Amino acid sequence: MADDAVVTTIDDRGVANVAINRPAVHNAYNREVILALIDAFTALAADARVRVVVLRGNGKHFQVGADLKWVKANRDLSFEENVAVSMDTTNAVRGLNDFPKPTVALVHGGCFGGGVGMAASCDVVIASEDAIFSITEARWGLVAGPILPQLIARMGVARVRRYALSCERFDARRAMEVGLVDEVCATGALDQAAAPIIEALLMSGPDAATETKRLTLELAGQTIDDTMARQLAEGHAAKRMTDEAVEGLDSFIERRKAVWYPE
């Protein structure tokens, strides 16, 4: 439905489209979006009709990361409640990364924070020339723990060390240079660019594709077990509750530099 946080459709070929649907806030994610994504991808994994999944964002942007007002509100929760929130986030990205069918991310506009992690978790990433990327968490006194495994797998340690520490913005061409993006197309041409890739994916045997993806992740050491997921979630939650994170989130909401910036 139009007011759902995530909208899913499936065409006659078995291509599912999953659209993050909070355009009024640039598709910033909150708990509703996280749980809706988990539900959507769980259902699609079990649906024998589905061969390929395309992830996109409705409106002007792909996904601009967390709704920081929602993140700020979480600091009033207990530590265990905060861990539960971070566990949902970790499992959403982990589930996307391990999803047993081919996935294609179509990125336009802003792709920040968790949005970069979502894109990095997909098998194929196509960005239009208007796309802008940034791993933003450290800028706001947070840590991008739940998405760091996927970012490292996509971009490599050296690139993540630069962009996760500096939080610099970079364009689609640079994203392709550092391995985050596979192809860049003209603004407004994402579906046309994706069409031949989707056709190629549909030519592969469904079971063979699933097994190939599973083995590739396993052999590369790119699967996150429950113990590591819990550690990532606990660290993510603990950092969100610190004074530094409080100041970082306040600086964002108040549109000012954080106190640690030397004037």
Residues constituting the chain: 263
Tell which residue, 83, 1, 81, 73, has the closest CA to residue 36.
1
Single-letter amino acid code for the residue at 71:
V
Q: Report pLDDT for 2.
A: 63
| DSSP annotation of 255 | T
Q: Report pLDDT for 1.
A: 56
Q: Report pLDDT for 180.
A: 98
Q: What gap in Å lies between CA 185 and CA 251, rounded to an integer?
A: 35
CB-based contacts of 91: which residues, under 8 Å, 6+ apart?
38, 229
What strand order describes the sheet that includes 124-128?
Answer: 6-10, 15-20, 52-57, 103-107, 124-128, 183-185
| DSSP annotation of 131 | -
pLDDT tens track, the chain, 263 positions: 567 999 999 999 999 999 999 999 999 999 999 999 999 999 999 999 999 999 999 999 999 999 988 998 888 899 999 999 999 999 999 999 999 999 999 999 999 999 999 999 999 999 999 999 999 999 999 999 999 999 999 999 999 999 999 999 999 999 999 999 999 999 999 999 999 999 999 999 999 999 999 999 999 999 999 999 999 999 999 999 999 999 999 999 899 999 999 98
For 35-90, give the DSSP string: HHHHHHHHHHHH-TT--EEEEEESTT-SB--B-HHHHHHHTTS-HHHHHHHHHHHH
Please report the domains of the chain, with CATH numbers, ordered by start residue: 6-188 (3.90.226.10)
For 180, phi then psi, to 5°, come to -70, -35
| DSSP annotation of 233 | H
Q: What gap in Å lies between CA 226 and CA 212, rounded to an integer?
A: 22
Single-letter amino acid code for the residue at 158:
A
Q: Is 112 helix (H, G, I), strand (E, B) or coil?
A: strand
Q: Report pLDDT for 263.
A: 83
Q: Report pLDDT for 128.
A: 98
